[in-house]
Amino acid sequence: MRYFLRRLTQAAFLLVGVSILTFLFSTLAPGNYFDEMRLNPQISPETAAALRAQYQLDRPLQVRYARWVNSLAHGELGFSFANNSPVAPLLWVRARNTLLLTLTATLISWALALTLGIWSAATLGRLPDRALSWATAALLVIPDLVLALGLLILAVRSGWFPAGGMSSVGIESFSPVQKFRDVAWHMALPVSALVLSAFPILVRHVRGAVAEVLEAPFLRAAASYGIRRRTLLYKYALRAAANPLISLFGFSVGALLSGSLLVEAVMSWPGLGPLLLEAILARDLYVVIGGVLCSTVFLVAGNFLADTLMYWADPRIRTGAPAK
Amino acid sequence: MIQRRRWVRWLLVLAVLHGIVACAGFFAPYDPAEQDRERPYAPPMRIHWIDTKGNFNFRPFSYEQQLRAGSFDQFEERTDQIIPMIFMPEGARYHLFGLLPSHTHFFGGKTSRIYLLGSDAYGRDQLSRILYGGQISILAGLLGAGLTLAIGMLIGATAGYYGGWRDGLLMRVAELFVALPWLYLLFALRAFLPLSVSPLQAFFLIIVVIGAVGWARPARLVRGVVLSAKERDYVRAARGFGAADGYLLRRHILPETANVILTQAAILVPQFVLAEMTLSFLGLGVPEPVPSWGSLLASLQQYSVLVSYWWMYLPALAVVPFFLGYLGLASALQDNVGTGKIERTTSEGRW
């Protein structure tokens, strides 16, 4: 229990740190949302100044931070100037969509990475392993942006997949099954872009970890007892190789979040990415801060999940013995 | 020795690629901003050796393109109008490496412009724009990586060498930076800097932003090396002889970090080139009319371009050989070092 408590405090400190950091950055910003109004001749400088005062942008940093924390306590996360509404509801809709995309991509890429990685480690140096090494190397040299755009061109030219968005027009009138199929059809492209850019690295790590374990004497002994290969690989080897892979899981969440920001913008998936982009272009301060914080929460959640898995998988942590 | 050769081979590949981009003025047939409003979105011209009569020509040539009757964007070849290709012609003025004034180009069309890779919405030559765009993107990547490594080395060395509260504070901040999804961090930083700036300002802004985001990982690696290096016998001996901190760091400790720094550089440069591309692609980077690989791709955000003009995707493919080179170099360097087990996960590219 102390293990979890410590992890939770760490996570809380991280979130506070990130929020302070983004606020610090925001003071570096020359100009704000209302400065853009100066270009509009219909708004007098006095009005702009009054608006600035109304939203307390003329107050010092610590006051603004305190007010922001206060609004966080009310579940608002500050105020979006461009949308004229509290940030939290805006963020919530988008975050759900990002989560849908990222979670699906995480599940698929790990499923692929585990099966292919173990297969590769089991056939180390032989044809399947070599073919997979080449394939992952090829995917590694293609950057996400290039991959996402390439898939998009493919989709548009072949017409197999929609070119963007999350649902077809008139989805409200669909039955639940139709809705599910429609969203899945729209998700296929962004998810495959994410999976293709994330899983090669994962496969390499799985292969490395499992191959190292397969050398271990206890596994050779188990093999000589005549234990089935499948059991050997998926039960004994994977269990022993799990530790580094679980901590990699935490990292992979962060990478997939970064990747999905880009993929969402390219494929116009209504997630956090496009929202953040609009907010940056409009200088909508609190939305940017909210978006960054939201992604940190996801990341922290991913890491927490990894810690929980670790707790379950590694008895040394449970008994409080020093882990390797 | 074999590994050493592999390392050198990748470096050669990269040198050639960078050389081509550095001499963009020479290899690009035209000025990247020169427009040809008669030929928007002209498709890539074919190079022919055999003409319509079946005769073989030693001098390769293209056919003039004209709009197909009744169309506003479909071109067809006019087989009656030949554009012979000439080599080393004199054309648009440029400065080689930004210094040497010159106007000799590698090739060009004798009677009219040859669009080897097509043209964009304003009839600007795509090949020239890709080459010049590479200069911006790659220079941003290189300078950004240089800045990041300098910051990382400074912070890592301070934390590792002096230890104590400095170490604690710096490493907590580094953890913060490593923890955030880096693209979000990049965006957040960019969000708080001015939006409408001149291309040159934007370029330096991007370098600073990119450089400020990635310092945490090299700093942690450098700290690790410094921690072990400062306890070595010869360092202690030098300190015993009265060497000052600055001398010890410069002479004995920081040289030990060379391997880590080089490997990190090979990993960071492509990552930062991609970061520049991403920012420019989304309109947060170097603005028009200056080309960069990212802003060249930005036109693909229009549906019509995506559907009709496949050659607008070519800048994306230009990146791939560079990534291949750097990835190869990074893995060769790592094999060479052998002791790169510290944070081995970073080796594989993106995180």
Nearest CA in chain B to A22: B188
What are the pLDDT tens digits along chain A (324 aa)? 777 888 888 888 888 888 888 887 777 666 666 666 666 667 777 777 777 776 666 677 777 788 788 877 777 777 777 777 788 888 888 889 999 999 999 999 999 999 999 899 888 888 888 998 889 888 888 888 889 888 888 888 887 777 777 777 777 777 778 888 888 888 888 999 999 988 888 998 898 888 888 888 888 888 888 888 888 888 888 888 888 888 888 888 888 888 888 898 888 888 888 888 888 888 787 888 888 888 888 888 888 888 888 888 887 777 765 544
**Where residue B152 falls among pLDDT bands split at 50, 70, 90?**
very high
Q: What is the mean pLDDT of residues B323-330?
A: 89
CB contact under 8 Å between B184 and A276, yes or no, is yes
β-strands A79-80, A85-86: how paired? antiparallel
Residues of B in Cβ contact (< 8 Å) with A291: 184
CB contact under 8 Å between B300 and A149, yes or no, is yes
Q: What is the mean pLDDT of residues B116-144?
A: 88
Encoded amino acid at B304, one letter: S
Residue B57, both tokens: 């020509």
Residue B169, chain A, CB below 8 Å: the answer is no
Longest dimension (CA), chain A: 86
Among candidate residues B220, B246, B32, the one with its CA nearest the CA of residue B124? B32
CB contact under 8 Å between A150 and B316, yes or no, is yes
Return phi, psi of residue A21, to 5°.
-60, -45
Residues B262, A46: Cα–Cα separation, whole Å: 55
CB contact under 8 Å between A255 and B350, yes or no, is yes
Nearest CA in chain B to A273: B184
Residues B36, B49: Cα–Cα separation, whole Å: 26
pLDDT surpassing 50 at residue B346: no
Does residue B240 sit in helix, strand or coil?
helix
CB contact under 8 Å between A143 and B323, yes or no, is yes
Q: What is the pLDDT of residue B343?
A: 37
Q: What is the pLDDT of residue A194?
A: 92
CB contact under 8 Å between B300 and A276, yes or no, is no
Which residues lie across from B77 on neighbouring strands? Answer: B65
Q: List Cα–Cα distances, A184 to A98, A101, A148, A166, A198, in angstroms.
A: 14, 10, 18, 9, 20
User: Which residue is associated with the tokens 């230890």?
Assistant: B163
Q: Which helix (H) or strand (E) holds B138?
A: helix B126-162
**Where residue B149 falls among pLDDT bands split at 50, 70, 90?**
very high
CB contact under 8 Å between A280 and B284, yes or no, is yes
Q: What is the pLDDT of residue B342?
A: 34
Residues of A in Cβ contact (< 8 Å) with B297: 145, 149
Q: What is the mean pLDDT of chain B?
A: 82
Residue A144, chain B, CB below 8 Å: the answer is yes
CB contact under 8 Å between A143 and B176, yes or no, is no
Among candidate residues B322, B342, B321, the one with its CA nearest the CA of residue B264? B342
Return phi, psi of residue A170, to 5°.
80, 25
Helices in A267-319 by DSSP H: which ranges? 272-282, 285-313, 315-319
CB contact under 8 Å between B184 and A156, yes or no, is no
Q: Pick the residue with more confidence: A11 or B340? A: A11
- What is the residue-wise DSSP string for B299-348? GGGSHHHHHH-GGGGHHHHHHHHHHHHHHHHHHHHHHHH--TTTTGGGGG
Task: Classify the phi-psi angles of A151: left when phi > 0, otherwise alpha if psi is within -120 to 50, otherwise beta.
Answer: alpha
Q: What is the pLDDT of residue A58?
A: 66
Q: What is the pLDDT of residue B351?
A: 39
CB contact under 8 Å between A255 and B277, yes or no, is no
Q: List Cα–Cα distances, A157 to A152, A182, A193, B305, B312, in angstroms.
A: 9, 20, 17, 11, 14
pLDDT surpassing 60 at residue B2: no
* Residue B78 CA, distance from chain mean position: 38
Residue A254, chain B, CB below 8 Å: the answer is yes
Which of A 225-244 lie inside 8 A of B, CB atoms? none
Residues A29, B283: Cα–Cα separation, whole Å: 18
User: Which residue is associated with the tokens 């941003």?
Assistant: B140
Residues of B in Cβ contact (< 8 Å) with A150: 313, 316
Nearest CA in chain A to B176: A14
Which residues lie across from B64 on neighbouring strands? Answer: B78
Residue A150, chain B, CB below 8 Å: the answer is yes
* Residue A243 CA, distance from chain mean position: 21
Residues of A in Cβ contact (< 8 Å) with B185: 292
Q: Which helix (H) or strand (E) holds A70?
A: helix A61-73
Q: What is the pLDDT of residue A78?
A: 76
Residues A105, B150: Cα–Cα separation, whole Å: 36
Residues B207, B212: Cα–Cα separation, whole Å: 8
Q: What is the pLDDT of residue A110?
A: 93
CB contact under 8 Å between A296 and B316, yes or no, is no
Q: What is the pLDDT of residue B219?
A: 92
Residues of B in Cβ contact (< 8 Å) with A254: 179-182, 351
Among candidate residues A32, A98, A24, the one with its CA nearest the CA of residue A68? A24
Residue A159, chain B, CB below 8 Å: the answer is no
Nearest CA in chain A to B180: A296
For residue A293, the distance in angstroms to the closest alpha carbon of chain B comes to 9
Q: What is this structure's pTM?
A: 0.84
Return phi, psi of residue B83, to 5°.
-110, 105
B214 contact partners, CB below 8 Å, separation of at least 6 = B144, B145, B148, B152, B182, B268, B271, B272
For B182-203, b/e burial (b = at least 16 CB within 10 A) is bbbbbbbbbbbbebeeeeeebb
Residues B32, B28: Cα–Cα separation, whole Å: 8
Residues of B in Cβ contact (< 8 Å) with A21: 176
Residue A198, both tokens: 């994330």
Q: Which helix (H) or strand (E) holds A86?
A: strand A85-86
Residues B190, B192: Cα–Cα separation, whole Å: 5
Nearest CA in chain B to A263: B278
For residue A263, the distance in angstroms to the closest alpha carbon of chain B comes to 11
Q: What is the mean pLDDT of residues B99-126?
A: 82
Residues B55, B311: Cα–Cα separation, whole Å: 30
For residue A265, the distance in angstroms to the closest alpha carbon of chain B comes to 8
Residue B203, chain A, CB below 8 Å: the answer is no
Instruction: Indicate the length of chain A as a whole number.
Output: 324
Q: Least CB-CB distance to B282: which of A14, A204, A265?
A: A265
B245 contact partners, CB below 8 Å, separation of at least 6 = B161
Which of B 277-296 lie inside 8 A of A, CB atoms? 277-278, 281-284, 294
Residue B347, chain A, CB below 8 Å: the answer is no
Q: What is the pLDDT of residue B345?
A: 38
Q: What is the pLDDT of residue A112?
A: 92
Return phi, psi of residue B215, to 5°.
-70, -20
Q: What is the pLDDT of residue A267?
A: 86
**Where residue B58 falls among pLDDT bands split at 50, 70, 90?**
confident
Q: What is the pLDDT of residue A32?
A: 63
CB contact under 8 Å between A258 and B184, yes or no, is yes
Does residue A12 sit in helix, strand or coil?
helix
Q: List Cα–Cα distances, B64 to B114, B121, B214, in angstroms.
A: 8, 18, 49
Q: What is the pLDDT of residue A109?
A: 93
Residues of A in Cβ contact (< 8 Å) with B348: 140, 201, 204-205
- What is the residue-wise DSSP string for B156-207? HHHHHHH-HHHHHHHHHHHHHHHHS-HHHHHHHHHHTS-SS--HHHHHHHHH
Residue A24, both tokens: 């610090």
For residue B99, the distance in angstroms to the closest alpha carbon of chain A comes to 32
β-strands B56-67, B100-104: how paired? unpaired
For residue B174, the distance in angstroms to the closest alpha carbon of chain A comes to 11
Residue B324, chain A, CB below 8 Å: the answer is yes
